[in-house]
Amino acid sequence: MIYLFIGQDKHSKDLQLGALKDSFLPKETRAFNLETLYARDLTLVLLQEKLLCLPIQSPFRMVVIKDAQNLKEDIKRFIIKYGQDHASKTLLVLDMERCGAKDAFVGELSRTAKVFRFKEEQNIDTFTLARNLGIKNAGASLKTLNVLLRKGEKPEKILGGLRYVWNKDISDPIVFRNRLQLLLTCDLEIKTGRLKPACAMEKLIVKICTNNA
């Protein structure tokens, strides 16, 4: 009753999800039997409520969880047990961008779930962002930031990572000082609520890529 999508190829994922919908959900009542949830805001109680709902004029319901790499531990434990219940009328689709080679949750779930692997992008982290900023590539830097935030990286962790990288290279004191000042400004804008974290960090990237920083 569980389908696991792993990878970043959104187009191929959408095609596969569409095939599952066509196989299990009648078009006439699909809107009533399909729910999409997001892992970051999901609680165990909410998930249990959705899975207990009965199908409406359909043999099955379907619950899709996006960004499943961000699932909380109690939800992961529940899903493992849910996968062993063959009597359920609700199909659960977990959509995650990537998983580690030794991910215990995925390894355990693979015993009962149908796993689909899609194309995965190269590993993107704060060091990737620092490299893109170093060559003042604003487009690549903004894209990298978006990926990091979607993966669930905290803004303060990203800022801390940038500071760590830049502290290891102070060959140009003026550039180093300007970068630190921009980091402090960004951090202040986030903590005071002056700007939303994503907006503050996008502003930081643009300033670094267009100024002597």
CA–CA distance, 5 with 51 (Å, rounded to integer):
19
Measured over the CA atoms of residue 69, residue 72, residue 73 and residue 74, the dihedral's sign is negative
Strands, E, within 23-157: which ranges?
34-38, 61-66, 90-96, 114-117
pLDDT of residue 120: 67
Architecture of domain 2-117 in this structure? 3-Layer(aba) Sandwich (3.40)
First-to-last CA distance in the chain? 52
| Mean pLDDT, contiguous 10-residue spans, the chain (213 residues) | 90 93 95 96 96 94 95 95 83 89 87 87 82 91 91 91 89 88 95 93 93 72
Q: What is the pTM of this model?
A: 0.58
